[in-house]
Structure 1
Amino acid sequence: MKKLVALLALLVGGCVTLPENVRPVSDFRLERYLGTWYEIARLDHPFERGLSHVTAQYSLREDGGVRVVNRGYSARDEKWKQAEGRAYFVDDPQTGFLKVSFFGPFYGSYVVFELDYANYAYAVVSGPDTSYLWILAREPFMDETLRKELVAKAAERGFKTEGLIFVEHE
């Protein structure tokens, strides 16, 4: 039993890490980050596979954390899918490094490493390693020049951006 608990602790704690070459933004303002974000692009993972019209809604929880509601449409199943989770800052609230959980006690990294400080109109987010990447925006579409710039910045940090899925929002 002790080995199982130790393994579980390692797995849970091991998922809240920073990818190499990725540093979270500083001067992060949660109150400006709250609200709806549209997924512009992502690297593929089973939990979002086949989804279009993907959004993330962030709001405050009573315990001081962040309520996370991810929603997307599955054309194959002809229905909307939704997952609700919770997030908490790993270090301090001015650093864009949170841990997020959709499954009980299991947390993963949520690292905001690019951010439009002026308007909070876009963000680039990583998970615990470079196989997780999301480009988010406040609107369902992003200027192509900006999108290419953000993709290039992610590639410079080691993300395999040639595998990006550009999300439909029509």
Structure 2
Amino acid sequence: MLQLLFVALSVFGVSQAQVFGLGKCAQVKTQESFDLNRYLGTWYEIYKFNSNFEGKQKCVSANYQLQSNGHVRVDNIGFENGEKKEAVGDGYVPDKNYPSRLGVRFSNLAPYAKYWILDTDYTNYTMIYSCTDILELFHISYAWILGRDRTLDESIENRLFAKAESYGIDTSNFLKEDQTGC
């Protein structure tokens, strides 16, 4: 029992900048029909779960480009204290039967993390969810709502929040991204 408590405290210490919760990850349904080619291009972060790897950035965008090996170059750009921050990652579809369930990593030393697309219309919005179960007792989750523009219609936001809530994702964890003055 002491070892379990140690693991739980260690996980909490590492994950306090993410959304840490008790129990397993939410059971979500990814988008059934998904066309990666239509998804490529630039997206702007509208909402996100807090994440230590983004820090206090604003004007965050992500650009997805198909590579010759079938993988996707993920180029994230944001600004912190007026300084440009960039993170380049690699994404791919591990199972062609589930094309909306990508794996993404930002270091060759890191494992691929889930980048599951729950909903997108390709031209206005996308909602992404990532979650890792730890010992089936805890989980660390991330979620994003991105738009092709720096703002998103409130009716779309409300529909995506309702969809997330229907899966058991706590939408109070979403933080509004600052896309002003970009």
TM-score by length of 2: 0.76
Residue 141 of structure 1 corresponds to 151
SS of the residue 2:77 aligns to: strand
Residue 179 of structure 2 corresponds to 169
Aligned to 1:38, which of 44, 49, 52? 44
Residue type matched to 1:95 in 2? P
Residue 125 of structure 1 corresponds to 128
Residue 26 of structure 1 corresponds to 32
Which runs of at least 4 in structure 1 moved beyond 3 Å after TM superposition? none
Residue 11 of structure 1 corresponds to none
Asked if structure 2 preserves the Cα contact closer than 8 Å seen for 1:121 and 1:137, the reply is yes
Query: 1:152 deviation in Å?
Result: 1.9
- Aligned mates of 1:19, 1:139 — CA distance in 2: 30
User: What is the Cα-based RMSD across aligned positions, in Å?
Assistant: 1.8
> Which stretch shows the higher mean deviation, 48-57 or 153-162?
153-162
- Aligned mates of 2:173, 2:26 — CA distance in 1: 19
Asked if structure 2 preserves the Cα contact closer than 8 Å seen for 1:115 and 1:123, the reply is yes
TM-score by length of 1: 0.81
- State percent identity of aligned pairs: 34
Query: How many residue pairs are counted as aligned between the two chains?
Result: 149
Residue 115 of structure 1 corresponds to 120
- Residue ranges of structure 2 left out of the alignment (5+ in a row): 1-23, 133-139
Asked if structure 2 preserves the Cα contact closer than 8 Å seen for 1:30 and 1:93, the reply is no
